[in-house]
Structure 1
Amino acid sequence: MNFEKDTAALAAARSGVALYDRSQWGRIEVSDVDRIRFLHNQSTNDFKILKPGEGCDTVFVTSTARTIDLTTAYVLENSVLLLVSPNLTEKLITFLDRYIFFADKVKLADVTTQTATFSLIGSESHALLEKLGAADLIGQPDASHRLLNLAGQDVRVAIGSGLATAGYTLIADVDRAAALQQSLIEAGAVAISDRTWEQLRIEQGRPMPGHELTDDYNPLEAGLWNTISFNKGCYIGQETIARLDTYNGVKQQLWGVQLNALAEPGTVVMVGAEKVGKLTSILETEKGAIGLAYIRTKANAKAGMQVTINNTQTELIDLPFLTREKQP
C-alpha cells in the first residue's frame, strides 16, 4: 500500500494544520421552546447550564445505557445543532421522536443536505483562523462557537476538531462549501482523506458507531466519562450509568494496540491462555497495524500491559481522547 500521501497529511495534522471534510456526518436541528429541556432529558450531558454560543459533547444511549452515538451539540439562539456520526441521522431522529410527547414543543429537522462541515486539525489551526480574521474565538472553551465572516461568507466556527488534537469545526451553507474549502486550503490547510482521519481517530481513541459504540458497550466503557453529568438528574439510561459508577460496575475499558499485522475486528485479545477482550477497530499504517480493543476490567488492564492478538504479542496503549473517571 502507498502511504506517501498519508505521510504528508498526517504531518499536517500533527504539527501543522489539516482540513477534513466532515460533510458526510449528519446535522440535526432541534428547535422550539422545549428544546433544551428535551435534550437535557435525552442524553448524558447537562444542557441546562449552556447558553447560546456554548456547546458540549454528549452521548445518546438506550434505556439500558447502551450507546447510540457520541454527538457534539451547539446551542444557538433559537435552536440546538447536533453534529452526529455518519449514517446515524435517521436512526437518531427516529429514537428522539419516540420521546416527543403531545405537550412537548420540540421540532427535529435533518439539515445535513443543506449544510457542510469541515474540521481544522493541528497546532497551526489557531494561526490560520487568525489569518482569516477569526482570532476572537482562540482560547475559548471546547464547543464554544460563533457565526463569523470567513473569506466573505458566514460560517459557524466552533472550538474542537472532533479529536483530541487542537482545532476547529466549521459549519456553512452547502452552496458555500466549495469556496470555503478552497479559502482554507489557500490559507495553508492540507486536505486529508477519510483514511487519514480514520488513522488519527484510532491513534487518539475516538470511539465510533459500528465499532466501539454499539449495543454491547456503554459510555463509561467507551472512555466517554467527560461527556456525562453525574448530578443533573434523570435522563434516558441514567439509572444504569449511575449504578455502574456507584458500584464500580464498568466491566471493560477501551485501549489502543499496535500490531505487526492486520487482524479482523472481533479477534480475541488474550493474556496467556485467558480471553480478556476483543479488537473493535484496526487499520494498516506505514509503521504497522494500529487498533482499538475492549479489555475486561478484571484483567487489571493498564498502559504497557502485554497482550496477545492473533499470536502476536503487543501492549496496551492509553489514548488521549479517552477518559476513565469523573471529570471536574
Structure 2
Amino acid sequence: MITTIPLWKMFIETKGKAYGLAIIATLPVLCAGGALVFLEGLQSGKTRTAIFGLITLCFFGLGTVITFIPGRKYIPGKSFTGYRSKQAKVQKFVKHGFWVIILLAIGLTLIIPSKYIVISLSTIGALISLYHYSKSIKFHEDIDFSTNQYLASSLQIVPGEKVLASYQNFYDDDIQRGSNAFIVTATKLIIASFDGEHWEKLSRELNQITHIGIVGNESETYFVKLVFGDGTDALLRIGLYEKLTSTPALIIKRLLEVIDSSLLGDHSAAKASQRRRVIAPQGAIQAPTPPVESETAAPPRNIEISPPTLNDIRNAEEIKPGRKLEL
C-alpha cells in the first residue's frame, strides 16, 4: 500500500528543518491574527477591517488545514487531483484569460482614457505571458526531447521496454553537481545523478513505492519524494530548466499515471509518447528502435549526447538500499 506524505513534512524536507518549521509555525499565528482583526472590526463597527480580518482568517486557515492533513492511502486516479487536472485547468484558464484581458483593457481605457498608453503596454505584456504559458502546455511531451533512447540505453532499461516519462536538467556541455535525469517505464523508475565527481544511479520497481509526497514552490519548481520498501528514498526536483521540459506539473501528472497503471497491473494502459529527433555523434550507443518525430509538436531541437557521458552514466554506482538520493 502507498501512503501520501503530509505537506508539512514535505516543507521540512525541501526547505530545511529550521525554515520549514518556521513556515509551519507562522500559519497558526497568521490565523489568530486574522481572527483578532475580524473581531476588532466587528466590535468597532469598521466594516473594511472586519472584512480584511475575515479574508485573512479564511485564507491562512485553509492553508493551515491543507498543510496539516495527515498522510492517507494513495488512491490511483484520485490522489493529488490538483496535478492530474492541471492541463485541463490551464487550458480553460488560457481560453477565458484572453477575453478577460481584452475586456479589462477596453473597460479601463473607457474609464481612464488618459492612461491608454500604460493600459496598452500592460495588456500586451499580459497577452505575451499568456501566450508563453499556453505554448508550454501545447508543446509539452512526456518524453523529454533530450532524455532520448541513447540515454535510456545507458540507464540500462530492459530491451524493448518503452520509456513512458522522462526528465533531464542538463546539457551535455554543462554537467555540474546536481545534474540529473530519470526515466519511467511501465514497471520501473531509474534515476541518474551527478554529485560533482561521479554519477550515481538508482533503479527501483514501481511496485516497491511505499510513500509519495509532492510540493511546489513559487518558481514553478516541484519536488516529488518517493520512499521505497527497502528504506531507500529519492527526492526528485523537477523545474523549468530553460524550457528543457515544457511543463513540470505535467511530468508529475504522467509519473502518477504510470504509477497508477503499475498498481492496477494495467501496463498496457500507459502508452509511450512520441519522441523528438535527437542527433547523436558517431560512436554513441545505438538504440534498438529509431526515434519517432511528432507531427504536432514544436520544431525539433537537436542535442548531442557524447559517448563519455553515456558511458559514465552506464557505469554509475548503484545506490544501496536505505540510502537517500536527493536531486
Q: TM-score, normalised by structure 1?
A: 0.25
Identify the structure with the greater helix proportion: 2
Q: TM-score, normalised by structure 2?
A: 0.25
Identify the structure with the greater strand proportion: 1
Greater gyration radius: 2
